[in-house]
Structure 1
Amino acid sequence: MKHTYQVLDMSCGGCEANVKKALLALSDVCKVEIDLATKAVVIEMQSHLSLDILQQALLTAGLHYTITLPEHGFAHHSKPASNIENGNGVFYCPMFCEGEKTYSTQSGCPICGMDLVEQPSTTQATQFTCPMHPDVVQDTPGNCPICEMDLVVLESENGEQKTYQELLKKMKISVLFALPVFVISMSDLIPNNPLNTLMSVQNLGFMQFALTLPIVFWTCWVFFKRAYRSIVTWNLNMFTLVGIGTGAAFIFSVVGLFFPEIFPDNFKAENGTVLLYFEATAVILTLVLLGQLLEAKAHSQTSSALKALLQLAPATAILLKNNTEVVIAIDKIKREDLLRVKPGEKIAVDGVITEGESSLDESMISGEPIPVDKFKGDKVTAGSINGNQSFVMRAQKVGSETLLAQIIEMVKIASRSRAPIQKLADTIAKYFVPIVVLMAILTFIVWVWFGPEPALAYGFVNAVAVLIIACPCALGLATPMSVMVGVGKGAQAGVLIKNAQVLEIMDKVDVLITDKTGTLTQGKPSVEEVFSQRGSADDLLCKIASLNQYSEHPLAQAVVQFAQEKNINLTKVIDFKAIIGKGVVGVIGKQKITLGNLALMTTNKIDISDVLMEKVTVAQSQGKTVSYIGVDDKVLGYVAISDSIKSSSKKAITELMSQGVQVIMMTGDNQNTAKAVADALNLSEFQAQCLPEDKLNKIKQLQAQGKIVAMAGDGVNDSPALAQADVGIAMGTGTDVAIQSAEITLIQGDLYGIVKAKKLSYAVMKNIKQNLFFAFIYNILGVPIAAGVLFPVFGVLLSPMIAATAMSFSSVSVIANALRLRKVSL
């Protein structure tokens, strides 16, 4: 029997190996399969074992992990869903302190203490409700059973909204209590303080104490919990500093209020009372809460591109069932369903048009604003917006299979990846808090030894200011915020970034290796001529089309389509074999048919006449791709195929070369055709008749010279080169294998997307450096000023409340700067 569980605390390959070893130690366990991404563990066992036994096995092995039943939608006895972690109720740290680890509660990051952010769901089931009767909720669209009104999509409140609303509520309450505390404290600055006529100084102190209690033990208590947890686990963070600073001020004030006699005169005012800091505690905590509130608001904007993509898919679609139109929820669509798409509607899933024609706005998928005309047989993608004509489509990819869902998933993964430049911030942040605490202690000692009276009071206040003004979060947020916004911006422009490391490398690329077919050219080849030296050209066409029906190469498909258009019946082929980079071979009847380039003919010792070679040379000089047709040991003809150059290729190459990028075309096509294309694009460097290993070796050679190489291609044979390159760039129109091997995917299959990717890389890296500079300079200048370095010269001290204001806005400033990337022109 098989059961599925979750081990919530696994975060790396080592965790996975340890858990598997511990569970396999149980005699009844036969096999353990672990999906680290989903924390899912499938256990095959001889007899059912309880959760307690499994948990004890982990504890016995010294693993303090929690094993539990799955919580996010896959059945206990079923295979775990691959995208479980994408559902609502799954949270991540905005600073990615533990990499891609997710959490099942929003209690705060265990490392940095920041509020966790909820992941948006890519495959939520849609529910519908009545606008007049909100208690009516159902899974299918229709009419309200009470008032007959059309049901509308139920808008669920996401985690970010809940967090923001909860913080806003606490903020209002904190201000309500902190304001009178602040007024009471500041009233001492007014001559003949009017409040002293109403009550004694001691009673005013008790009032401040009472007003501060709700802030410390209710609205901001979570800060102290996080501070305590950070110290216990020794994951020191911002809340460590806030907790120590405000906690010390509050405890000092409580003791000073109730037991003033134990303090020396250095801590007392002129009237003999102990200086209290309830206002510092209340106001600082309220300002920190304000910073958290502003961050929650800003975080919702950093993922705006992802949310825009999520909103592209409609909630419902029109299903054609027995010639009747039925409105169904998008998650109920199945493959092969016929759907009606009316003017102005969004396309729900990927498919092909079976009836009608229209023009589609694919700008949010491809980044291109120009509508695309679609006809019967053309493919359409989810998220596209229909023009002014209705058509019928057949669903081919649904749910997480659609291009839109894959784009969303890719954006989410890339947004959570870490750029190499972040290592600098991580290293500094590791030692940041202990250093700040030591500086606060040193500040107190220096003021006690060298400061004016009351020296102890000065020392205490300035030490608190040092603790409060330091902000490790600004350092931690500098890189991930820019990456998140940048990746989203790229997706909107049709440039999918696989990980943050690519963004950093792409800016440094100085050589671009590019394929020809499907990269520089349209990738939609068409047969222009089938020439036969003897006999019927249609007879040769039948042979090569029959051979090509087993090949997935674009040129092969063009030949097959050409034969179908001429109503030529294909015949049976045996011993079919594809030789990568050369062509195909097979046997039809008793004849061996060889179709491919000159290298294939030479290898198989197939004779080519001089007359035929002259004709081939003329066709190749016109930029056509020519494949020789060999029958047994002689070439009897050729097929000429044209593939027009993309209009954007020349513009992209010109712009890349103006930026100092060396562009090299490497193609498996012949020398003459390659030269014709290179001349048309003003390419000075190209290489023809390349095999996959030639591209791979060229990239290795350039890398050995210290070059940063990008490779652009769209075919299976490009996969090794794409994987070897510093940056692999796949055309979205290409094969899945090529896309999986690449770090960047251009949805439109347009070479100008590389220019966009380079601009985006430059903008993101510049933004990250600005954030890091701001975070560093803020702390480098802020901490010494808080310590009082300006006091000997200017007599200026930094109030802890002003320090709290600066600290609260530092992280927000970093996020705000990252948000500027949304306006970058690509």
Structure 2
Amino acid sequence: MSCNGCRTKVEQTLNEIANINATVSLEKELADIEMKEPVETSILQKALLKKGQYILQEIMTHPDGTEEILPPVEISEEDHYHPKIPKNMQNKAGKYFCPMLCEGDKIYDSNVGCPVCGMNLEQIPAPKIEKTVYYCPMLCEGDKTYDHPGSCPVCGMNLVAKSIAIEPEDTTYKEMVKKLKLSIAFTIPVFILSMGGMISNNPLNEILSHQANNYLQFLFTIPVVYFCWIFFQRAWTSFKTWNLNMFSLIGLGAAAGLIFSVFALFFPGIFPEDFKGEHGIHLYFESVAVILTLVLVGQVMEAKAHSKTNTAIKELLKLSPTEATLITENGEDKIAIENIVKGNKLRVKPGEKIPVDGVIAEGESYIDESMITGEPIPVHKKSSDKVISGTINGNSTFIMIAEKVGSETLLSQIIEMVNNASRSRAPIQKLADKVAKYFVPTVIAIAILTFILWKLLGPQPTLVYAFVNALAVLIIACPCALGLATPMSVMVGIGKGAQNGVLIKNAEALETANKINVLITDKTGTLTEGKPSVEKIISLSNEYTPDDLLALSASLNQNSEHALSKAFISKAKEKNTSLSPVKMFVNQTGKGIQGIVDKKRISLGNSALMQTIGITISDKLLEQASKEQLLGKTVSYLAENKIIIGYVVLFDKIKESSKETIRLLHEKGIEVVMITGDNPNTAKAVADELGIDDFIAEALPQDKLEAIKKLQEQGKIVAMAGDGINDAPALAQANIGISMGTGTDVAIESSEVTLLQGDISGIHKVIKLSHKVMQNIKQNLFFAFIYNTIGIPIAAGILYPVFGIVLSPMIAALAMSFSSVSVILNSLRLKNIRL
């Protein structure tokens, strides 16, 4: 109730119910009800809901004087209060109005309360709309975005979606796959028709005349050109803006081959006899179709990679709950997360995700914060302790006060950091594109010069010779081998990596891995196993062996939901220890567990539990436990009745491969820095054990992100290895992100490299593979460019004045094919390398 009008309405509503006399207090928000006969609470609640959003809350007073708030009465959806929205307000979505219509149809911009009756205003509901915009991955025009998918008007590359909205599917990728399938379907017949003539006793030569064969090639090539028309558009854009790139070469070469072939098919008489063979002029429809289809294959792979740009963010969004339990003066109510405001009281039940950042007001519980800190052991939280959105409540209910909502929460900030980091870096410019910047204008200049010289100095008909030789230059310059040089090596290299448990997403990752000089690594799940395990059990009694104590502690943990309980159960299974039934099991939150095992009263927990049951821990034992804790380990005491019979040391075990891998990285001159959310003692113990150069402890996701940014500002090439949600922003920001395949989906999607076995030793494999692949790519580029270097002058007619030789396009096609075969064979050599 917010005003005296509410009080009056509630009082009148209750008194209208038969056999009831009610008096309502606004100040105390209480209703004193006298009943002649018992009336069900649900009847009272339904009557109130018909008049407004008034929730009846029952409070039970126990004999000891304590009060307990009972759950609100369950009411069906149709009985809930639904304010009527005037028809003239239907198009005012997001605005507010008074449900009492005190000022008629008047609407308000914000929920300031009705100026007449003081009631909370109701918001006119609106469908939730999330807009997706697109941006160029090369950031040609800075942060400029576009409303629709397509190509960048500057460089012609595919625009990439920039949105955190969860899309059911990526339509761009789906459409490109469809085009690729159709393009392949039409390219294969063109290839067979063209190359079939070179095979002796080919039945096609008997069925089809040469002319009919050419017409069929033309008909099958047109659909391929249609499906790949976007490449010609990109080429045109690159020339308009003079931002020359690979599409400039592809569009120019394919267009030249297509135009030449079409004219040669329909107007063969305009060409000199030198260009005519036994079956007329050689056509290049198969070259056009194959080139365009190969380029489309590369673009589909790129589109698939871009379609996963937002996948990490989608996985993060799944962590955020959609609703919360709001505690009001009238009871409890389920509300959407976006409607939570600062200061709201929220109830969080066992197993629920914490809706927003805040502080515990009442109660205590164990919170699983592994998705934020990366640490596997749930953290005990009590009154006044901070809690974080997206983390998971353990086995107790508590009430929290919302402090940070919406974009202010840590989870929202992580989402934003991943989003910003993933789009803040432009893709590494491929070597072929760098060369193309100079190569394209050079080819164009040579073609123009060829045309001019043949027109001025060539034999008759000069115009035809000039046109044909200029086209020959463009055809022979078509970068078929150049287009294969990088993707072939990358394809084979990625396949080789996958065979060795290393998944690499793109060529940029392969190139960058060869240059890294700093490795930032998480601790939990990367250098360590990522889960606590029983390291040792110390017996302090002559009656019990360590195995006896394991049996007692594991038996007791059968009924526990605590994360540490799994460590005891796993150890017992490892040693084939039989477990006994437990009676009178008690879980003391924040302290430990107790129960009857084999007729013995057994307690397992921390010093607080020992103090609770009246046990004094000796100074000597405290000193022993302190030494273990300084090494970042967890100590649990085991007691029978009121005597400590031993203690258990638990530790997140270091992976066997971690030490050798760090040694190999040091040999390559790579600095290793560990950044972890764990405490300094644990961090130092792990760093000392592994010989790590430096470490940062108690780090939040933004701390990891900032550390990487600082190193990058110093000119360092930084790799980040991690496995948790808390590592996602850092993985996205690093020059190369390396995730453990045993980690979270968010970490995997935020990284460029995934180590399937979850073994850090894979980093050394990545670096070695990177070196070999980059070496192979440079060799391929040599084969591609040496062909162009020799072929273009010959196509321009440099041999004609001395030898009278004009390069036939047929010879140019064979040379181009040889260049492509050289690139393919050289790339396949990568299959033989040992990682």
TM-score, normalised to structure 2, is 0.49
TM-score, normalised to structure 1, is 0.50
